Amino acid sequence: MSDTDWFSDFAPPLDRGHETSRASRSSRSPWVWDETFGIVHHEGCRTCRHYMLHVSDAAIVDGDSSDSADSDSYTLALNQRDAELRRRYLEGFRRGRSTQQQHDTDRLKVYRSQRDEARAAETLYKAEVKEKEEEIRKLENKLADLQLEYNQLRFDSLDDHALSPLSLSSEESGESSDWQSEEEEEEEVYEYEYEDEDEDEVEEEEEEEEEEEEVEAILSEGDDSADEVEVVEVRAGITEANFDDRLASIDDEAPVLQLGFIGFSTQTVSDGESDTHGSVHRQSHTSGIPLPPTSTSGPSTITPAQTVTHIRQQMAIAHQPGNEPILLHIKTLISQAHATPLPLRTESQKVLLTEWRRKPSSPPPPFLAREQEPDTVYVDASGSGIGFIFNNQWQSWLLSKHWKQDGRDIQWAEAVAVELGIRLMIGSGLSATKIVLKSDNLQVVNAIKGKAVIREKNTKKIVNGIWELLKDYGMRLKINWVQGCLNPADEPSRLRCSGFGNGTGETGRFPYDCGIPEHLKKFVIPYVP
């Protein structure tokens, strides 16, 4: 078919087709569906058919045309069209992406600037918090020092009141100043501690107060006759040989006071006065307070050297729990010594006045009490480890690199130190029912006592776990605060243990160990020197 034929075949039918269409419309020809091209038109319409043959992609490829050159040209045109469409699509995508990236870059700059500002503010706030925490720690230490100084001044004022000769002036009016001052002296405390009194300790104190009231009632019976006595004879009811035996006889059932009065004489006493003294001691003896077998109502046969020895022994144990009557006796002798003129004072009186308030050169002997106080456990924590000291023996644990995650801080580590110390004492079997422990973190100490609330969730869990641990094992915990500079567990917490044992720290290590509980295994590691 030539181009002319094709055109002649195409062009005339166009008019005829329209005429046919018009004719069809005029003759109301039905509409038909042309499945080949997917169109609906009048039956016999050639216009639509020729148009679709012209524009359809499949007309040349799938048609009955035998002109391969025309087919190739058509295919090439299609490929060029598709390539141009792809190029334009990719170009539009690239431009859109570039525009979006530019927009995102500006937003990222803003976000990164805000992030850097937040990090800088966080660093500043952390530095301020650390500075404030250090100030609080210093203030706590200063407060503790001031409290110790206050207590020492209060004790000194009580001692000065008891030792002052003016305290005897009330005897002239018929009042018993010695026993009145004792009510104030009973409040003396020689070590400032944060501690809770459990029911057993309260009962023991009530029993001691009842015993002291009985002693005061017995001794006060001789106050009227004591008004007539300016000085008393030297009477000692104990000898150096039987002193320790008499102390050993003090137990939970018998009265604590088993020591005879020791007085000092600097002048001759009249018969009437001697009878008066004798009546006083007879009353005391018949009232139920045992006197040593060697005590008499007459002059003592004990030597001055022995008397000095006995006085020093009594002074050494006077302030120990359970020895309140001995403390009362010593202070009575001191009052008498103050009332004695200086040239007439005996060697024993001089020892009392010069050595009573002097710090002992050696540790005091073990005191006799109703319940022996367990040895103290010291615990501490640092940024690298946890330390434990008991009887100069150490134990240490390492803290992992990631222990500070999830809000954990040094307060958490201090609470963990308390828990491990308790577990170690329970595991070793060295504590029957009570553990005495000291830590230099006041917040943790007060939280375990129930006097403070810790907000940090991880530390709070440790404190609650300590309560449950004590409840499960039926243990009692007496926990006190100690100054950081006085805490011996500070060195083991920093993994410096060479100062214990034989100098290397190995022989001074605590011979027992406890397994690390499951909730601490991610953060606490056994320490191997």
Residue carrying the six token digits 């009692």: 476
Under the banding of pLDDT at 50, 70 and 90, the label for residue 149 is: confident
Q: What is the 3-state secondary structure (H, E, C) of 509-528?
A: ECCCCCCCCHHHCCCEEECC
> Nearest 5°: phi and psi at 319?
-90, 5
Hey, what CATH class is 376-526 in? alpha beta
Residue carrying the six token digits 């976000």: 111
Cβ–Cβ < 8 Å for 311, 352: yes
Provide the residue ranges of all domains of the chain, joining segments of one domain with +: 3-55, 164-355, 376-526
> Nearest 5°: phi and psi at 502?
-90, 15
Determine the average pLDDT of the residues in 266-273: 40
Mark residue 165 as left, alpha or beta (left: phi above 0; alpha: psi -120 to 50; beta: remaining): alpha
Residue 379 has pLDDT above 90, yes or no: yes
Residue 404 has pLDDT above 60, yes or no: yes
Six token digits for residue 389: 């000291």
Is beta strand 393-399 parallel, antiparallel or unpaired with respect to 39-42?
Answer: unpaired
Coil, strand or helix: which one is 172? helix
User: From CA 203, how far away is CA 141, in angstroms rounded?
Assistant: 33
The per-residue pLDDT for 155 is 67
Coil, strand or helix: which one is 39? strand
Helix axes 199-220, 177-185, angle to 10 degrees: 170
Cβ–Cβ < 8 Å for 476, 374: no
Six token digits for residue 20: 């046919």
Nearest to 18 by CA among 42, 43, 39, 45: 45
Cβ–Cβ < 8 Å for 235, 296: yes
The per-residue pLDDT for 81 is 85
Nearest to 23 by CA among 47, 7, 40, 6: 47
Nearest to 78 by CA among 64, 60, 97: 60
The per-residue pLDDT for 460 is 94
Q: Which residues pair with 386 in a beta bridge?
A: 381, 397
The per-residue pLDDT for 274 is 39
Query: Hey, what amino acid is at 321?
Result: P
Q: Mean pLDDT highest for which of 262-266, 403-407, 427-431?
A: 403-407
Lowest mean pLDDT among 7-21, 148-162, 262-276: 262-276
User: From CA 9, how far away is CA 3, in angstroms rounded?
Assistant: 9
Under the banding of pLDDT at 50, 70 and 90, the label for residue 262 is: very low
Cβ–Cβ < 8 Å for 167, 335: yes
Length of the chain: 529
Residue 483 has pLDDT above 60, yes or no: yes
pLDDT, tens digit (0-9, with 9 covering 90-100), for 67-79: 566 678 878 888 8
Six token digits for residue 526: 């056994």
The per-residue pLDDT for 313 is 78
Determine the average pLDDT of the residues in 404-419: 93
Under the banding of pLDDT at 50, 70 and 90, the label for residue 411 is: very high
The per-residue pLDDT for 506 is 52
User: From CA 387, how far away is CA 395, in angstroms rounded?
Assistant: 6
Residue 512 has pLDDT above 70, yes or no: yes
Determine the average pLDDT of the residues in 96-102: 86
Cβ–Cβ < 8 Å for 387, 490: yes
The per-residue pLDDT for 208 is 60
327 or 368: which leads in pLDDT: 327
Determine the average pLDDT of the residues in 406-426: 93
Tell me the CA distances in angstroms from 8 to 14, 389, 510, one per residue in order. Answer: 10, 117, 117
Cβ–Cβ < 8 Å for 433, 475: yes
The per-residue pLDDT for 23 is 46
The per-residue pLDDT for 185 is 41
Residue 446 has pLDDT above 90, yes or no: yes
User: From CA 482, how far away is CA 491, in angstroms rounded?
Assistant: 15
Under the banding of pLDDT at 50, 70 and 90, the label for residue 233 is: very low
The per-residue pLDDT for 210 is 60
User: From CA 230, how far away is CA 297, in angstroms rounded?
Assistant: 17
How much of the chain, in percent, has pLDDT values that exceed 70? 55
Residue 440 has pLDDT above 50, yes or no: yes
The per-residue pLDDT for 122 is 94
Determine the average pLDDT of the residues in 484-494: 92
Cβ–Cβ < 8 Å for 416, 514: no
Residue 63 is given by DSSP the state: S
Residue 398 has pLDDT above 90, yes or no: yes
CB pairs under 8 A, 24+ apart, for 8-13?
Answer: 10/50, 13/46, 13/47, 13/50
The per-residue pLDDT for 386 is 95
Cβ–Cβ < 8 Å for 70, 59: no
Determine the average pLDDT of the residues in 117-121: 93
Determine the average pLDDT of the residues in 114-121: 93
Across the chain, what does the average pLDDT equal? 69
pLDDT, tens digit (0-9, with 9 covering 90-100), for 166-213: 443 333 334 444 444 444 444 443 333 434 444 455 555 666 666 555
The per-residue pLDDT for 6 is 43
Residue 26 has pLDDT above 80, yes or no: no
pLDDT, tens digit (0-9, with 9 covering 90-100), for 312-365: 878 887 767 767 778 888 888 888 888 888 888 888 888 888 887 654 555 554
